[in-house]
Structure 1
């Protein structure tokens, strides 16, 4: 089990930007997407402030976000990467299987990856993720390189949407048709 102190706040700045974007989408009636809290089991509490000082993740979470965009069910996870090589070990097996099952039910699954050192956001379609995962089974390294990514799926800020992933969701849907 991982402890709250070691992993609990990783990626929080990316999630804040996505939360802001999702609130913008909700206000504009474009989408309703919610952050899914990770279930934790408190172990130690500060008696004076009633704050949790130590906790463990209670069970495996699915993905960070689930919602609906104009009738289309979506789920996605937010990941940060500080180098040009994204390790597929950042995607837990239970997350990948959840996303796969979501796709099988006609939902749309994807990742939003923030390459922090480049200040670039990427919409990783599930089909692209599956390609990378499949090639691991063929003996390839458990990663992919920034240079391999499709330049058409980098996310840009637009209007009030800081991480405007809806345009890329539309492209993803067009490729599926």
Structure 2
């Protein structure tokens, strides 16, 4: 009785997700209002060694998985759902499935929402994006931060000794 939207975890996938949400809000708003539409979170990375595989949904999770699995784990960056084998797909749609419900506030006017995000008000939308933009760190920054944290911890341990 539920709809699960599964798209790639990249910019193109987010655009497809937006178009699908627009479709459901415009033609089947009651499905959304009654909590029957979900977004499937798909992993961005697979980090594994010979004994364990960890699926990671963010750069932060990837860094933690690398730390947990120790020296030189194999890291795969998924570019899309098509790269994931059916056997692997079962690993994150079973017990460990991550579903985000699509939630509308009770007072949300769907027509206004669709006009704002999909209408011709380009300047208003652009201003909203600029004011709410979050920039993710790239791999080099994450690695540098992790190395700095290790160096800081080692320095603290050495000074305490």
Instruction: Determine which structure has the larger strand proportion and give its number.
Output: 1
Instruction: Determine which structure has the larger helix proportion and give its number.
Output: 2
